[in-house]
């Protein structure tokens, strides 16, 4: 006697599809986080070079905002230490960049109460 197995693949697909979609969106989120971190890290290195060449804090900040190519550049936090007044040749300058990241994956965004903050920092000697 043979059973009627019509619809079996539809049920299996309905059970597995949500898990596969969450996995796919999670992979995309992870890739976006890695890209954003790599981009901020490179931006911090290039920005600190500008500061190491003796530019003012406003010029360094303007360069960082122009260099970073993420969704909302307005949310980029830039901190430079030491400031213009305390910077002399031979000292070190440090640039820190922070950018809030919003998740696409529904369950991951509910696990984190606030957005993830991606941070990058670089230091160079002032010429």
What confidence score (pLDDT) does residue 127 get? 86
The predicted-structure confidence for 75-120, as pLDDT tens digits, reads as follows: 999 999 998 887 888 899 999 999 998 887 777 767 766 678 999 9
pLDDT per residue over 78-90, tens digit each?
A: 999 998 887 888 8
Does position 41 have pLDDT exceeding 80, yes or no? yes
Angle, helices 8-52 vs 57-67, to 10°: value is: 150
Q: Tell me the pTM.
A: 0.81
| φ, ψ at 22 (rounded to 5°) | -65, -40
Whole-number Cα distances in Å, 53 to 30, 39, 71, 88, 126: 35, 22, 29, 11, 6
Q: In what order do the strands lie in the sheet with 77-81?
A: 77-81, 92-101, 116-125
Mean pLDDT of 31-43: 94
My answer on whether omega of the bond before 37 falls inside 30° of 0, hence cis, is: no
């Amino acid at each position: 006697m043979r059973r009627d197995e019509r619809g079996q693949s539809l049920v299996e697909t309905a059970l597995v599809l949500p898990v596969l979609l969450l996995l796919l969106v999670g992979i995309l989120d992870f890739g976006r986080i890695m890209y954003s971190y790599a981009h901020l890290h490179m931006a911090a290195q290039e920005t600190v070079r500008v500061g190491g060449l003796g530019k003012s804090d406003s010029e360094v900040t303007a360069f960082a905002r122009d260099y970073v190519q993420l969704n909302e550049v307005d949310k980029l936090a830039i901190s430079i230490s030491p400031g213009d007044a305390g910077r002399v040749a031979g000292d070190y300058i440090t640039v820190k960049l922070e950018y809030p990241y919003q998740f696409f994956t529904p369950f991951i965004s509910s696990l984190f109460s606030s957005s993830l903050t991606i941070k990058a920092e670089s230091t160079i000697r002032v010429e």
